[in-house]
């Protein structure tokens, strides 16, 4: 089932296999960002983290992912959340 992406703030999409490859855990991300259950979603082999509020939150998370060995675009990607309310975007793993 596709994940609905909010238009209010950025969302980071991560390949689940890449997240697991570098042995990151949801608990680590939750601890760093203080996420609610709705802000860390998994559907198939895709993880969506967001909406990410706060001026530095997205940048800090990207630094953390790159520091763990993940590669922007190949392993994760962010969507700005900057689109009109009349447009709804969904994300889904392309292999499904």
CA neighbor of 8 nearest in space, from 46, 53, 65? 53
pLDDT tens across 22-66, in order? 999 999 998 888 888 889 999 999 999 999 988 888 999 999 999
Torsional sign, CA 47, 58, 68, 32 = negative
CA angle 50, 2, 83 (to 5 degrees): 55
- The domain tally of the chain equals 1
pTM: 0.89
CB atoms within 10 A of CB 36: 8
In a domain, 62, yes or no: yes
Give the residue carrying structure tokens 């895709």.
46
The answer to whether residue 69 scores a pLDDT higher than 80 is yes
Pairing mode of beta strands 40-43, 89-91: unpaired
In a domain, 46, yes or no: yes
Report DSSP state, residue 37.
G
Domain span including residue 12: 7-81
């Amino acid at each position: 089932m596709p994940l609905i992406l909010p238009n209010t703030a950025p969302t980071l999409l991560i390949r689940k296999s890449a997240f697991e490859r570098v042995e990151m855990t949801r608990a680590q991300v939750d601890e760093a960002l203080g996420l609610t259950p709705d802000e860390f979603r998994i559907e198939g082999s895709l993880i969506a983290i967001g909406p990410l509020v706060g001026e530095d939150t997205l940048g800090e998370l990207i630094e953390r992912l790159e520091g763990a060995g993940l590669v922007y675009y190949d392993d994760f990607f962010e969507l700005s959340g900057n689109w009109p309310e009349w447009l709804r975007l969904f994300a889904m793993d392309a292999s499904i």
